Amino acid sequence: MVIKNIITAVKNIYFGPPVTRMCPEVPTKLSDRFRGLQKLDKTKCIGCGICANTCPNNAIKIVRARINPQSDKQRWFPAIDIGHCLFCGLCIDQCPKDALESTKVYLTGVIRWNHEDLLFTPDMLAREVDINAEEEAGEEVSRWTPQ
Ligand code: SF4
Ligand code: SF4
């Protein structure tokens, strides 16, 4: 019995399919329904606050931010505390303007040592600033890549 088990183990080591993978070097295949980091389209957002009122974890605040990187004009937009986000997608479902969408990003910009670094401003949600911020995150974190 012992010999049989050893033979089975050796066979699997050399000839069986791998049962584990190297993460993050080998990316996970994500389902179509996967909900990752949100993305904001500032041109669609009307600052209504429905997303903030919907969030079950109180992770969204409506804050003033510039309407785009080239303008000093400001309007109200959501900011999301990703450290408190459940990625439930309710804010996206309830947005009357389809201004929020879910992306497949769950590593880049989301792995941070400090909670304050997970406070995603409207500029960050709109990807007007580099959410990877490699210099701040350090080498160990910056090698994590988006899917
Ligand atoms: S993202 Fe949608 S729900 Fe949230 S403030 Fe903008 S328009 Fe309103
Ligand atoms: S995905 Fe859910 S928990 Fe996260 S900000 Fe939206 S409503 Fe809140």
Which tens digit of pLDDT belongs to each residue from 106-141? 887 888 888 888 999 999 999 998 887 544 444 444
pTM: 0.80
pLDDT value for 133: 57
Residue 50 near ligand 1, beta carbon < 6 Å: yes
For residue 71, the SS3 value is coil
Q: 1: CA distance to ligand 1 center in Å?
A: 63
- What is the best residue among 45, 61, 75, 98 to mutate for testing ligand 1's pocket, by most ligand atoms within 8 Å of CB? 45
- What is the best residue among 60, 102, 125 to mutate for testing ligand 2's pocket, by most ligand atoms within 8 Å of CB? 60
Which tokens hold the place of 113? 């040592």
Which tokens hold the place of 61? 């605040």
Which tokens hold the place of 114? 């400090």
Residue 124 near ligand 1, beta carbon < 6 Å: no
Contacts for 143 with CB less than 8 Å, ≥ 6 apart: 24
Q: How far apart are CA 96 and CA 49, in angstroms?
A: 10
Q: How far apart are CA 124 and CA 42, in angstroms?
A: 11
Burial class (CB in 10 A: 0-12, 13-18, 19+), 19: exposed
pLDDT tens, 44-98?
999 999 999 999 999 999 999 999 999 999 999 999 999 999 999 999 999 999 9
